[in-house]
Amino acid sequence: MTYSVPTAPGEQEAEVAADVEQHGWQLWEVFVRQKRGLAHVHAGSIHAPDAETALQNARDVYTRRVEGTSLWVVPSTEITASNPDDVDTMFEPFADKPYRHPTFYDIPEEVGHM
Amino acid sequence: MTTRLTRRPVSAFTLRHGDDNLILAQRLAEWISRAPELEEDIALANVALDHLGVSQLLLTYAAETGAAGETDDDLAFLRSEREFSNLLLVEQPNGDFAVTMARQLLFDAYQLGFWEGLSASKDEMLAAISAKALKESGYHFRHSAGWVIRLGDGTDESHTRMQAGLDSMWRFTEEMFAMDDLDRELAASGVGVDLAPLEDPWRNRVGSVIEEATLTVPSDPFQRIGGRSGEHTEHLGHLLTEMQWLQRTHPGLDW
C-alpha cells in the first residue's frame, strides 16, 4: 500500500513504497476451480514477486491435496471491495424482498431437484 | 545385505537412481523452515517430497530384485557411505539459495531426459515409475528455471551469486552422462537408458535458461565422477549421519 507523508518545504519525501517493494513480496488472491463446470472459488492469498511465481506458489499451497484443476491469481491491489461500513445501504434493502426468491412456485414432481 | 558388487544388475541400476532421489530429498528437506519466504518453503518441501516418493518406489523395487528379505528401509538407513551410488551433484551442500537453485536446474534438466528415456524401459516397473516421475520433473524444472532466470536477470548481487552457484556445481555435471559397465549392459538389454545421447538435449535445455538469465554457461574442465562406484565427496557422510541417526540409534524402530 502506498501513501504520501506530508513534508515541510525543502524536505525530501519519505520513500515508503520503495521500502515495501524491497522487503516484501506482493500479495495475490488465489481462486481455485475444483472441477470442470464449477466456478473458480476464492481459496485464500499468497505472496509472490510476479504472476508466474504466484501461480506456482498457489499450486503448492492450495492444490497439493488435489483440490483443483484450474487456478487464477489476481494481485490483491486489483480487487475493489465493498466497505463493511456500507452494509446497511448496500445489502440491507434486499432483506425485505422475499419475492425475489423463486420460492413461490409449485415445482412439478417430474422436475425433481433443481 | 547384498553389496554393490554382487547385487543383480537390475537391482543395482534401480538402486543408484533411487539413491539420487533419496539424497536430494534429504538435502532439500534441510531448507524446511529456512527458505527465503513461507511460500518458497512449501514449494521446496513439495519438491523434496516428490523425490522422496520416487526414491521409495525405486528402493522398494531394488529390494525386491535384491537379496531375500531386504526392505527399502534397510537400503535407506543401514547402508554406509561407500554403498551409496548417487551422483555427486545431489549430495552437494545447499549453500545459499542460488547454489541450491543451480543444483536443482542442472539435475531437473537431466531428470527430464532420463525419465523420458526410462519410461520406454522393457522393465514394466521402471517404465511405470519413470512415467510418474517425468510429470513431477516437468514441474521441478519450471520451478528451478524460473528462479535461475529471476536471480540471474535480477540485481547485481543476485546475478553474481547465481553465476557463482552455477560455477560451483558445473564440475559435477559430466557424471550424469558417464556410463559404466552396468549402464552399458542394461542399456543394451533395453532395461536401462543410453545416457550419452541425453547430453546434447540437456545442454540445450540448461543453456537456454542460462542465456535468458543473462548468465554465462560455465566451462569447467575439471570434472569429478565417482558417485556411482561409491567414491563420494566428504559431504555425503555428514548427510547420512543425520538421516540415519534414528535407525542407527534405535535399530528396528517403527511407527
DSSP string, B43-112: HHHHHHHHHHHHHHHHHHHHHHTSSTT--HHHHHHS--GGG----HHHHS---SHHHHHHHHHHHHHHHH
Lowest mean pLDDT among A4-13, B65-74, B109-118, B159-168: A4-13
Residue A15 lies in a domain: no
Cβ pairs bridging A and B (under 8 Å): 28
Residue A67 lies in a domain: yes
The ipTM (two decimal places) reads: 0.74
Range of the domain at A56: 22-111
Residue A17 lies in a domain: no
CATH number where A71 lies: 3.10.20.520
Residue A4 lies in a domain: no
Residue A99 lies in a domain: yes
pLDDT of res. A45:
95
Domains, chain B: 9-219+232-249 (1.20.1260.10)
Is some CB atom of chain B closer than 8 A to the CB atom of A47? yes
Is some CB atom of chain A closer than 8 A to the CB atom of B8? no
Residue A78 lies in a domain: yes
pTM of the full predicted structure?
0.84
Q: How many independent structural domains does chain A possess? A: 1
Best mutation target, B39, B135, B153, to test chain A (most A CBs within 10 A): B39
Q: pLDDT tens digits for A73-96?
A: 999 999 998 888 888 888 888 888
pLDDT band at A1 (very low <50, low <70, confident <90, very high): very low
Burial of A40 (0-12, 13-18, 19+ CB in 10 A): middle
Out of B37, B38, B143, the one facing A56 most closely (by C-beta) is B143
Is some CB atom of chain B closer than 8 A to the CB atom of A50? yes
Q: pLDDT tens digits for B49-102?
A: 999 999 999 999 999 999 888 999 999 999 999 999 999 999 999 999 999 999
Q: Are B85 and B15 in contact, with CB atoms under 8 Å apart?
A: yes
